[in-house]
Amino acid sequence: MLITDDFLPVPVPESLNATYLVPTGGLPAVSARTAVRGLAGRLAEPVHGLAKQMLDSPLMSVDVRPIDEFPELPPDLLTAFGATEAQLDRLAAASHLVVVQAEYRPGWPPAHEWAARAVAAAVAEAVGSDVVDVFGLQFLDPAAALRSLPDAEGRVRLVDWVLVPYSSDADGLWFTTKGLRRFGLLELQTQGVPDHLTRAWGAVMTGAARRLLRDWTDGLAGEEVPAFVQLPVLATVTGHDIAVAYGNPEQHGATAPVLLRLELDPATDPDADSFLSLRPPAGHPGPAGRYFAAACATLFAGIQPDVRYARPGDAMSRAIATARAGLDDIRARFRAGQLPAETQLVVKYGLPGDDGPEYVWAGVTSWDTAERIVGASASDANTDPTVRIGSPVVVEATDVVDWAVLNGAGVIEGGWTQAVLDAGEAPTP
């Protein structure tokens, strides 16, 4: 094995396992094979065929067990990862669990995860129950579980498989991924992230996970599973990586890449996990948090990834009026393909909130009618849980308060309200 300063050898596990649970009130009235057959025409290939094949092989097992024979799932952690009261109540009332387990070699496709989730979702849908992803400690409704599986072109959203939780300590925020081990790769972590980058750095971590997972599976493409895969010490992350991870490859803009140094942090406790840490490149002056802030500014191409609430002011009113006056012209140029090459058109619009409108940005993907804009969100919203970075959005033109044309260096046209905010002429909470 060749080891150089440019690559980091990361150990490869011999095999991978997936476990999903379906709580039931008594013995299920349908078999797993019958439930999976019911997905014909609804689940894309090769996943549907893969699920049927693994059901008939020793690589998958489906058992029905009394719930008291299975270790109790911690309600507090399930709640932390999004469980609702109704889901927890159904779990508490269940008498049995359908336990779906699958095993497969590391590599792509992750047959163990795709097949086990498909089978569990099919059973849960047939009996009117939930899917519990044991690895992620998450409840999934059957429809969401099925949507997370590859489409007809083999595409998946990484955010359906990898979470990015964070916690606070004396040095700032500590981010980790939770889900890369599904694919055999060590989880990522970043420490010392400034508090104001909560949403932005979560997106950067997701984009970094996507890039490293691609390198990882490329290293596993041979017939034999290697003992190590060599990952680049300097990981390159782009806006495109983030957009693809969120399932919107067309919303990639033209952002410049950023570099993050990859280091192996082995666990000192045998029961703890090792991590791959993301740090600034060697020789970067100043604290790590300064580099992380600069990386976010680069990847988000001059727009603020954190939500800003604007209060009325003369400067802001003039900025909004200027932006709205130019909507017809920028739409015509966008539709005619007259914007500069390698640029992205974004719009800023308001979402209703208890404390007034919340203003967020979205990248424009189509603008067929003057009244309605179709795009992908460039930030997470506080007031609407469905608006997440990369998620599809439909924006009414009457809600638009600003627009901008971006290239790799930032805003090259428009962005009037952002300029007012950045200049401090309009107060923000």
Over residues 387-416, the pLDDT tens digits come to 877 778 889 888 898 999 987 667 889 988
pLDDT-derived band at 302, boundaries 50, 70, 90: very low
With residue 138 as reference, give the H or E element that holds it. strand 138-140
Q: From CA 223, how far away is CA 324, in angstroms rounded? A: 58
346 within 8 A of 419, measured Cβ to Cβ = no
Task: Provide CATH 2.30.30 ranges for the chain.
Answer: 314-423
Residue 342 CB contacts under 8 Å (≥ 6 apart), including other chains: 254, 407, 408
Q: List residues bridging with 9 in a β-sheet.
A: 230
Higher pLDDT, 363 or 305: 363
Q: Which CATH number fits domain 314-423: 2.30.30, 3.30.70, 1.10.390, 1.10.3210?
A: 2.30.30
Higher pLDDT, 231 or 252: 231
- Can you say how many angstroms the Cα of residue 162 is from the centroid of all Cα atoms in its chain? 7
Handedness of CA 177, 178, 179, 182 (dihedral sign): positive
Mean predicted lDDT score pLDDT of the chain: 86
Q: From CA 38, how far away is CA 34, in angstroms rounded? A: 6
Q: List residues bridging with 24 in a β-sheet.
A: 96
Strand 275-279 with 187-193, pairing: parallel
- Statement: residue 304 has pLDDT above 70: no
- Can you say how many angstroms the Cα of residue 70 is from the centroid of all Cα atoms in its chain? 30
pLDDT-derived band at 423, boundaries 50, 70, 90: low
Query: pLDDT, tens digit, for every residue of 30-68?
Result: 999 999 999 988 888 889 999 999 999 999 999 999 999
What pLDDT is recorded for position 110?
A: 95
Classify burial at 370, counting beta carbons within 10 Å of its beta carbon; exposed 0-12, middle 13-18, buried 19 or more.
exposed
Distances (CA, A) of 126 to 34, 129, 138, 142, 329: 9, 8, 20, 9, 52
- Statement: residue 422 has pLDDT above 70: no
Query: pLDDT, tens digit, for every residue of 81-107?
Result: 888 999 999 999 999 999 999 999 999
Q: From CA 233, how far away is CA 259, in angstroms rounded? A: 10
What pLDDT is recorded for position 306?
A: 41
- Statement: residue 154 has pLDDT above 80: yes
